[in-house]
Amino acid sequence: MSFWRRNKKNDGKKDQLKNEDSLDSPTSPSQSPIIEKDGLDPVITDYGSEQSDLSVALQDCMLALDLFLRNEFDEALTRLKSRNKDSMYHALTYATILEMQAMMTFNPEDILAAGNTMKEAQAVCQRYTLKAIAFVSFPEELHAEVCYAECLLQRAALTFLQDENMISFIKGGMKVRNSYQIYKELHTVLKSSSYVQGDNHGHFEGGVKLGVGSFNLMLSLLPTRTLRLLEFVGFSGNKEFGLEQLQEGSAEHTFRSFLCNMLLLCYHTFMSFILGTGEGDVEDAEKLLQPYLKKYPKGSIFLFFAGRIEEIKGNLDAAIKRFEECCEAQQHWKQFHHMCYWELMWCFTYKRHWKMAYFYADLLSKENAWSKATYAYMKAAYLSMLSREECQPFGENVVTLFRQVPSLKQKIAGKSLPTEKFAIRKARRYNTDNAIPLPAPPLEMMYIWNGYTVIGKQKDLTEGMLKTLDEAQQMLEQHPMWWPERNSPSQHDQCVVSLLKGLCLKHLGFKEEAEHYFTLVLCNESQIKDDHYLVPNALLEHGLLCMEEGRIDEAIKLLEAAKQNYKNYSMESRTHFRIQAALHKAVSFMWTWSRSYLSSNKQVF
């Protein structure tokens, strides 16, 4: 049993954010949380007991999770559904699995169903937060609070996906803020000297570590100007603390260990590449994955991450084998197949096997609803790398495919996907009668997804890509008639090729030549007609190159120029994420160097 002392002035206070989230039932209980930040003075004692309903529920949910990880999806959902109306953990786990499914399909009906189920789960959690009389709370109420916070966060994610109007964004943002505040308060409870661990303490603590860790990690990745705005309304993020919390949560054998593990794997294998400079800790990812892969050798989730780890190490054949194993492991959830198809598409892109890359882009365009425009663009891009004769068996025309791209645009979270916007802008060139070909479009899109960091691990892959870029440059030089308004190849297209060649040369160790190509983009800024993303990204890559050579001051100047001097270009947010990661790396380097210098030069008295 836990005893809480509050200031009486706060006892009747309603949380406006939770009121906004009311289920509109005439019998709905008050939305006030059991924990208020102001006046909180926890004096907590847990006397323990025989196996409680909470303990039984947690054990049952962990068994259901075990079934899910063994690809027995229907059995897991059936087990959870049997108690999802009266057990907070059954309700949360059931809704979480449905949300995972919705996130992978992007099917509006799946998103709506998952949202309603998560709303019901939130109501179940809420009932437990109100079981006790004033000033007294039971251990299960703490679990209810952490489950409630998870429901809020997951509902916010679905709100962003589901609707396009500003009211939905405000509601989603309020859910996120409320969830954040609950996690902060629960973290304070855990650190209280008066808190005594009960039978299910580990599961409760794991939930807090999951929430606090994920918030800190995600917020720390945001660009500086965005983070400053969020800090103004009470948010803050510390990357190292976030990773530490998730590591601790992952190391325990609790209900949320798996989710902590998955977040860390996502960070090391995806987020650090797509939203960073590719600095994910692959060794750490392998250590995190190994115990699960040993226990669940056919588990789709773990086979997928095993493939991704091999991919970012540059071991493409091993990666392809793992992704194929993942597809063969189960046939019930095609969503896992689609995730593998996306990675297989890129693996074959890195190998320059354009026909196989097209094959997987085509599968995605037929089976997955995430971004039909992107899939169509990639199909056209791969076919553009083949001769007319090689394209014939596929029965599709390159120009026709490019022209279809704008009509396939969709909106998620009220906005067009940045990748779709990029694809549509590139495809515009094919809207004229005498369409001017794009120079190596798969290689350009590869940069958007930070693929050069992957191929940079293997010399032969990088040399092969450089050869393709040399061929593209020769084509530009040999066909000045493509640009009748000038008697020379387009400087615009030359800048695209220059940026990509610079990346290949950097990874091959030819730093001077790489720097020349990055500078070339900047020198031709006035000649760039459409792809305004090229200059800030050339500055970013030049800055990273300077950092590798220890020219930190120069690197910071280039990165700051990229951040401050350019706006309203394609993939701007992603570029700012990468700039933020690069600046963080530069500052860390300077701090490490300063400490080392002071340590080696300190006087001994």
Rounded Cα–Cα distance for residues 333 and 90 (Å)? 21
Tokens of 462: 């990088």
Q: Does residue 345 sit within a domain?
A: no
Q: Does residue 554 sit within a domain?
A: no
pLDDT value of position 26: 33
pLDDT value of position 23: 37
Amino acid at 317: D
Rounded Cα–Cα distance for residues 495 and 517 (Å)? 8
Rounded Cα–Cα distance for residues 540 and 562 (Å)? 6
pLDDT value of position 594: 58
Tokens of 456: 């940079």
pLDDT value of position 3: 42
pLDDT value of position 211: 93
Which residues span the domain enclosing 101?
A: 47-195
Last residue of a domain, one of 407, 442, 477: 442
Last residue of a domain, one of 410, 442, 474: 442
Q: Is the confidence at residue 279, as pLDDT, over 60?
A: yes
Q: Does residue 94 sit within a domain?
A: yes
**Residue 368: CB partners within 8 Å, gap ≥ 6?**
105, 106, 338, 341, 375
| pLDDT tens, position by position, 132-175 | 433 335 688 899 999 999 999 888 877 766 554 445 556 667 88
| pLDDT tens, position by position, 5-18 | 323 333 333 344 34
Q: What is the CATH number of the domain that holds 69?
A: 1.25.40
pLDDT value of position 604: 43
Rounded Cα–Cα distance for residues 239 and 232 (Å)? 19
Q: Does residue 603 sit within a domain?
A: no
Three-class SS state of 578: helix
pLDDT value of position 592: 64
Q: Does residue 334 sit within a domain?
A: no
pLDDT value of position 192: 86
Q: Higher-confidence residue: 66 or 169?
A: 66
Inter-residue contact 154 to 171 (CB < 8 Å): no
pLDDT value of position 19: 44
Last residue of a domain, one of 174, 195, 216: 195
Report the domain count for the chain. 2
Query: For 64-90, what is the mean pLDDT?
Result: 96
Kindly tell me the sign of the dihedral angle through the C-alpha atoms of 473, 475, 479, 483: negative
Q: Does residue 216 sit within a domain?
A: no
Inter-residue contact 382 to 344 (CB < 8 Å): no
Inter-residue contact 5 to 101 (CB < 8 Å): no
pLDDT value of position 228: 77
Amino acid at 223: P
Q: Does residue 581 sit within a domain?
A: no
Three-class SS state of 488: coil
| pLDDT tens, position by position, 518-550 | 999 999 998 888 899 999 999 999 999 999 999
Q: Is the confidence at residue 450, as pLDDT, over 50?
A: yes
Rounded Cα–Cα distance for residues 431 and 429 (Å)? 6
Owner of token pair 């369409």: 435
Highest averaged pLDDT of the listed ranges 32-41, 52-61, 125-134, 154-163:
52-61
Rounded Cα–Cα distance for residues 416 and 152 (Å)? 25
- Identify the bridge partners of residue 502 per DSSP, sorted by sequence position: none
pLDDT value of position 566: 95
Q: CB neighbours (10 Å) of residue 397?
A: 13
Q: Is the confidence at residue 605, as pLDDT, over 80?
A: no
Q: Is the confidence at residue 418, as pLDDT, over 60?
A: yes
Q: Does residue 468 sit within a domain?
A: no
From residue 481, how far is each of 25, 113, 402 by CA, in Å?
A: 70, 55, 22
Owner of token pair 């160097």: 593
The full DSSP string for 353-379 is -HHHHHHHHHHHHHH--S-HHHHHHHH
Considering the chain, what is the average pLDDT of its residues? Answer: 85
